[in-house]
Amino acid sequence: ASHTLLKHEGISTAPQPTKSLVVANGGLGNGVGREELSTVLKEMGEVETLLMPPQKPYAFVTYRSEESAQRAHAHLNGQKLQCGENSVTLYLSYVDSVTCEEKNSVPLPEGLLLVEDFVSPEEEALLLAAIDWSSTNDDVTAQKALKHRRVKHFGFEFRYDNNNVDKDKPLPAGLPEDCLPVLERCVRNGHINIMPDQLTVNQYESGQGIPPHVDTHSAFEDTILSLSLGAKTVMEFRHPDGRLVPVVLPGRSLLVMKGESRYLWTHGITPRKFDVVPACDPESPAHTTSDLGPNRNLTLSKRGTRTSFTFRKIRHELCRCAPSPSPPSAPSIPSCHADATRLEEEY
Ligand code: AKG
C-alpha cells in the first residue's frame, strides 16, 4: 500500500509511528462516508482532524496522541468497513505530515448567483402542492416522463425533440398563481427585470439527473431562474475550456443564471444517488465542492426527491449574444448558431 500511495498519489509514508495516518481505501472516492469512517476512527482515540479529499480513495486522520494512532493502526489495518452495501478493506500507514494538495478556491461562473433560503418552508410546501402529478391534466401541462426525471410545463411547452418552444402555441395552463409572490420578489430584488412567462417543473428521484446543456439562446431571454425545492443536489457547470464547477443547490435556494453562466457554460445534474458536499459547517457555507482548502471537510450526501421550478422569459427577437471565444481545440460551444444544445439523449 505504501508503494502504491507514493507512486500514484505522491504520499510518502513514515517508517515510525506518528500521530497521523493515511487510510487507504477509506476515501470518498471509494464510496466511504465521513460518518462511517469517523465512527470507527473515534473508537481508537480522540481525533483531531479527518480529511477526506474529494474523489480520492483515501483519507487522512490525525489523532490527539501518538498512542491513539498506534491503536488505530493495530486494530483497523486490514479490517473491513461496511458502507451501506459496499464493503472495503482499510489499510493504514503512518505519515509525517498531512498534505492535501491545496487548490485555490474556485469562483462561480460569471453571471451565476445562488441565493439561499429564498423561499420559506411554508412557500416551499405551497409550491410543491401546486403541482399535480396525477396524469389527468397531461395535455394542459405537457407532462412527460423523461429518461431520468419527470417534467411539467406551464405557459409554453419546452420541446426536447428540437430544444425549443413553440412561441405561437401557449399552453392552456399559465404559471401557477402560487408562483407569483416568489416571482415578484425576484423582480423586486433585481434577480430578473421582467416577469417570466414560461415554467418547467422537473422532478428528480434519487439517482436521476439532467444532461449537461445550455438553454437554447433563441428560445429564452438572458436570465434563467431555478428554484430548488426538497432535497439538495449538486449541479455541474462546465466551461468549454474544460473547467468544471460543481455547485451545491440546497432546498429552498434560488439559482440565477445570467451572462456567461447562461450562454456559455453548460449546466447539468449527473444521475447518481450520492453527492460529495462540504460537511455541515455553519461558519463557512461553501457552494462549490471544488472550493477545497486543506481543511475543507467533505462528506457524502444521500440524494432524495428534488423538484425544481425553472422560470424563463420567452424571447421574441433574435439573440444578440457575442460569439463564443473558443480555442480551436475546445469542444464545440453552444451558441446562437448551434442552438441544439442538449448533449445527451433525454428520452
Ligand atoms: C432545465 O429544465 O432545462 C433545467 O436546466 C433544470 C434545472 C434544475 O433542475 O434546476
**Whole-number Å distance between alpha carbons of 171 and 154:** 7
**Measuring from atom 3 of ligand 1, which residue has the nearest CA?**
215
pLDDT for res 336: 53
Mutational pocket test of ligand 1: of 202, 256, 307, the residue with most ligand atoms within 8 Å of the beta carbon: 202
pLDDT of residue 147: 82
Among 14-28, 104-118, 134-148, the minimum mean pLDDT is found in 134-148
Give me the pLDDT at residue 144, please: 83
Phi, psi of 128 (to 5 degrees): -65, -35
Please report, for residues 57, 81, 146, the alpha-carbon distance to residue 72 in angstroms, rounded to integers and kept in the order given: 18, 13, 48
- Quick one: which atom of ligand 1 is closest to the CA of 215? 3
Query: 164: CA distance to ligand 1 center in Å?
Result: 14
pLDDT score recorded for residue 339: 47
Give the residue-averaged pLDDT of 57-84: 94
Is 58 a residue whose pLDDT tops 60?
Answer: yes
pLDDT of residue 331: 44
ipTM: 0.98
- Which ligand 1 atom is at minimum distance from the Cα of 202? 9
Cβ-based neighbours of 10, under 8 Å, separated by 6 or more: none
Residue minimizing CA distance to atom 1 of ligand 1:
310
Task: Report the DSSP beta bridge partners of residue 225.
Answer: 256, 311
Position 182 scores a pLDDT of: 97
**For residue 202, how far is its CA from the centre of ligand 1 (angstroms)?**
7
- Residue 224 — pLDDT band, cuts 50, 70, 90? very high
Digit-coded pLDDT (tens) for 171-181: 988 999 999 99
Protein residues with CB under 6 Å of any ligand 1 atom: 200, 202, 210, 215, 226, 267, 308, 310
Residue, of 170 and 8, whose pLDDT is higher: 170
Nearest-CA residue for ligand 1 atom 4 is 310
Chain centroid to Cα 7, Å, comes to 31
Query: What's the gap in Å between 270 CA and the centre of ligand 1?
Result: 12
Nearest CA to ligand 1 atom 6: 310
User: Would you state the cell numbers that stand for residue 323, as one nine-digit string?
Assistant: 460569439
How far is the centre of ligand 1, averaged over its atoms, from the C-alpha of 92 (Å)?
42
pTM, two decimal places: 0.70
The C-alpha atoms of residue 168 and residue 26 are separated, in whole angstroms, by 56
Choose the residue to mutate in 118, 143, 210 for probing ligand 1, maximizing ligand atoms within 8 Å of C-beta: 210
Confidence of residue 332 (pLDDT cuts 50, 70, 90): very low
Ligand 1 centroid, distance to 1 Cα (angstroms): 43
Residue 52: what are its φ and ψ, rounded to 5°? -125, 90
Mean pLDDT of 153-163: 91
